[in-house]
Amino acid sequence: MQINISTRHGQISDETHARVLGKLEKLPRLYERLGAVEVTIDLEHRNAPSVDLRVAAMHREFVATGQAAELLAAIDGVVEKLEQQLRRHKDKIQDRHQRGAVERE
């Protein structure tokens, strides 16, 4: 899985970069078919930074955006939204496979 973190209108510290990277590296435990993760952090409004998270999976792209008073809170919110999307997608796929097996019997 390739992770790309970019910022607009400023820079983030190495510590913040490492924390974001750590959170994103946990995503494959939910859905192992992830290809690329792209995070864009917009620091134009320092009191309300916005985060855009795009994840490319096999035949699908997941997108989550968020804004909060603090950068790490915005990142936590966006990662949580994306985790929910991945869980729903994985459940849908598993249900489809299980239904198909029952129908074939």
Residue 50 predicted with pLDDT over 90: yes
Give yes or no for a contact between 67 and 49, defined as CB atoms under 8 angstroms apart. yes
Give yes or no for a contact between 82 and 62, defined as CB atoms under 8 angstroms apart. yes
Q: How many residues does the chain have?
A: 105
Model confidence at 94, pLDDT cuts 50, 70, 90, reads: confident
Output the average pLDDT for the chain.
90
Tokens 């995503």, located at residue: 27
Sheet holding 2-8, edge to edge: 2-8, 34-42, 50-57, 60-67
The CATH code of domain 2-104 reads: 3.30.160.100
Residue 103 predicted with pLDDT over 80: no
Q: Where are the domains of the chain?
A: 2-104
Give yes or no for a contact between 59 and 35, defined as CB atoms under 8 angstroms apart. no
Give yes or no for a contact between 77 and 104, defined as CB atoms under 8 angstroms apart. no
Coil, strand, or helix at residue 53? strand
Model confidence at 75, pLDDT cuts 50, 70, 90, reads: very high
Residue 101 predicted with pLDDT over 70: no
CA angle 59, 2, 10 (to 5 degrees): 115
